[in-house]
Chain A
Amino acid sequence: MNALQRSGSGSMAQSPRSSTSQAPYLTVSVTDPAKMGNGVQAYISYKVITKTNFPEYQGPEKIVIRRYSDFVWLRDRLFERYKGIFIPPLPEKSTVEKFRFSAEFIEMRRQALDVFVNRIASHHELQQSEDLRTFLLEDEQTMERERSQETGIFKKKPADFMQIFKDVQSRVSDVVLGKEKPVEESNPEYEKQKNYIFQLEDHLAEAQKHAYRLVKRHRELGQSLSDFGKAVKLLGTCEGNSLGKAFSELGAKSELLSIKLQREAHHLLMRFEEPLKDYVRAVQSIKATIAERANAFRHHCELAETIKFKEIDLNKLRLTRSEKLADAEREYEQLKADGKESKRKFETIVKLMNEEIARFQEQKTIDMGVVFHEFAEGQAHLAKSIAEAWRSLLPKLEACSSSLETPDA
Chain B
Amino acid sequence: MMEYENQGYDEAHLYASKEEMSSLVLNEDPSPPSNGSKSFSDDPLSSAPPFVEIPTDDADPLHSPSPNEVLPNHSSINSILEPPSYADAIFQSFDSDYIDSAEVNSQDQSLSALSSFSSDYVKICVSDPQKEQEQSGSLVPGVSYYFTYLITTFTNLLEFNGAEFNVRRRFRDVVTLSDRISESYRGLFIPIRPDKSVVESQVMQQNEFVEQRRMALEKYLGKLAMHPVLKRSEELLVFLTVPGKMPLARTTDVSSRMLDGTVRLPKQLFGGESAVGGAAKVSEVAQPAKGGRDLLRIFRELRQSVVNDWGATKPPVIEEDKEFLEKKEKLQDFEQQISNMSQQAESLVKNQHDMGETMGQLGLAFVKLTKFETEEAIYDSQRACAADMKNVATAAVKASRLYRELNAQTVKHLDKFHEYLGLMLAVNNAFSDRTNALLTVQTLLSELSSLNLRIEKLEAASSKIFGGDRSRIRKIEELRETIRVTEEAKNCAVREYEQIKENNKNELERLDRDRHNDFLSMLKGFVVNQAGYAAKIANTWETVAEETSGYAK
Contact = CB atoms under 8 A, between A and B. Distances in A.
A206 interface: yes
A180 to B, nearest CB: 32
B299 to A, nearest CB: 38
A232 interface: yes
A352 to B, nearest CB: 17
Contact of A365 (B340, B381, B513): B381
A120 interface: no
B348 A224 contact: yes
Contacts of B523: 246-247, 250, 397
Interface in B515-553: 515-517, 519-520, 523-524, 527-528, 530-532, 534-535, 537-538, 540-542, 544-545, 548-553
B333 A238 contact: yes
Interface string A209-223: 111011011101101
B516 A203 contact: no
B548 A376 contact: yes
B70 A404 contact: yes
Contact of A393 (B354, B379, B388, B527): B527
B341 A361 contact: no
A397 B524 contact: yes
Interface string B427-442: 0000000000000000
B451 interface: no
Given A203-B369, A387-B531, A391-B90, A369 B70 contact: no
Interface stretch (A59-67, A281-289, A342-350, A377-385): A377-385
B357 to A, nearest CB: 8
B552 A373 contact: yes
A404 B338 CA distance: 22
- Chain A interface size band reads 35 or more
Given A372-B391, A397-B523, A404-B517, A390 B351 contact: no
B201 interface: no
Interface stretch (B189-197, B286-294, B359-367): B359-367
A210 to B, nearest CB: 4
Contacts of A221: 351-352, 354-355
Given A372-B544, A397-B527, A391 B362 contact: no
Given A203-B365, A207-B366, A404-B520, A369 B355 contact: no
B283 interface: no
A393 B378 CA distance: 53
B34 interface: yes
B362 A207 contact: yes
Contacts of B545: 373, 376-377, 380
Contact of B344 (A227, A247, A380, A401): A227
B520 A224 contact: no
A184 interface: no
A228 B388 contact: no
A386 interface: yes
Contact of A408 (B34, B372, B395, B520): B34
9 contacts: A211-B362, A224-B351, A238-B337, A243-B519, A369-B548, A370-B553, A376-B548, A386-B530, A387-B530
Interface of A: 192-193, 196, 199-200, 203-204, 206-207, 209-211, 213-214, 216-218, 220-221, 223-225, 227-228, 230-232, 234-235, 238-239, 243, 246-247, 250, 358, 361-362, 364-366, 368-370, 372-373, 375-377, 379-381, 383-384, 386-387, 390-391, 393-394, 397-398, 400-401, 404-405, 407-409
User: Top 5 closest A-B pairs, CB basis?
Assistant: A380-B541, A383-B538, A369-B551, A387-B534, A390-B531
Given A210-B361, A210-B362, A246-B520, 19 more contacts: A196-B376, A213-B362, A214-B355, A221-B351, A227-B347, A231-B337, A232-B341, A234-B340, A239-B515, A250-B527, A373-B548, A379-B399, A384-B534, A390-B89, A391-B531, A394-B524, A397-B527, A404-B71, A407-B69
